[in-house]
Amino acid sequence: MNHHKYRLIIPFLAPAVFLYGLFVLYPYSRAVYVSFTGWRGLSPNMPWVGLANYERLWNDQRFHDALGRNAQLLFVLPTATILIALTFAALFTQGGQAVKGASFYRIVFFFPQVTSAVIVGILWSYVYHPNVGLLNGFLDVVGLDSLQRAWLGDPAIVLWAIVSVAVWSGVGFYMVIFLAAMQAIPSSFYEAAVLDGAGKWRSFRDITFPLIWESVRTSIIYLAIIALDFFVLITVMGGGTSTSISRNAEVAAVYMYDMAFGGNSRWGLASAVGVVLLILTLLLSVVLMRVTRRETYEY
């Protein structure tokens, strides 16, 4: 019977496997090969240079700085996004049930997620504008003009100004995920907790959080992968990959793009960066899946 089952499954799987191999696995394998060459991207000539590109990355302080910013994002982006999303999700549920008006707020918070990241970056570039921006204008109105600054022109804060936009646009998505997980928890659990004298914080800590942990765990892994990329917002809000703004907030993906398309035409070096990011992403995913593994609660 199993033999007949596989004869039925294989014809359906074969087209998907072929397309995956053609458009995913083959480009990956070519990128690995190119990373060992000195290809400039403008000719069919690919001189073999071995590990020279990786040696250059090892000794390149600019690349180290870019990876360092990715490391900072690995902590800040998931932590801030998940904490804020959990807070709002908890506020919009009570005893496992959505509070009045929760559907409206869910739509409002989720709206930035359905907006293109490019559009989000452009809109917030105007919000951060030092002269006509909404943020500096608001600070002036409320009497906090001493806090006004060129938010995307200050090397000390430009990265965090952009990260704030990423958190703002992502909170709604994870809030909806956590809301769905919370509303799936039987209300009888909370009723029993109230009878035992548990307050809201204890109910959240001992009931809600353990039961939605799988959703939180998935969100942590997904946000960590985003933190290793973080290309679009920096490029859009920084005005390009070679501007001083982008350099102050440069991450590994921006560095890779600049090596390939920023006038350097060092496709071999850019491919080496891509391979390093691929390896780091795979290792990070495995580590996070193991570290965050907990006992699954059934209800």
Measured distance CA(26)–CA(242) in Å, rounded: 30
- CA-angle at 111, arms to 110 and 116, nearest 5°: 115
Does residue 135 have a pLDDT over 70?
yes
Alpha helices in 92-157 (DSSP H): 102-110, 117-127, 134-141
pLDDT tens per residue, range 77-108: 999 999 999 998 888 887 556 667 677 777 88
Q: Binning pLDDT at 50, 70 and 90, where does residue 240 land?
A: low
Burial readout 238-249 (b: 16 or more C-beta within 10 A, e: otherwise)? beebbeebbbbb
Q: Binning pLDDT at 50, 70 and 90, where does residue 243 land?
A: low
Burial readout 200-236 (b: 16 or more C-beta within 10 A, e: otherwise)? eeebbeebbeebbbebbbebbbbbbbbbbbbbbbbbb
What structural domains and CATH numbers belong to the chain?
A: 64-291 (1.10.3720.10)
Quick one: pLDDT at residue 84?
Answer: 94
End-to-end alpha carbon distance in the chain: 35
Q: Binning pLDDT at 50, 70 and 90, where does residue 275 land?
A: very high
Q: Is the dihedral of CA 232, 237, 241, 245 positive or negative?
A: negative
Question: Is-contact 297 216, C-beta < 8 A?
Answer: no
| Mean pLDDT, range 154-178, rounded to an integer | 90
Burial class (CB in 10 A: 0-12, 13-18, 19+), 147: exposed
Tell me what the pLDDT averaged over the chain comes to: 85
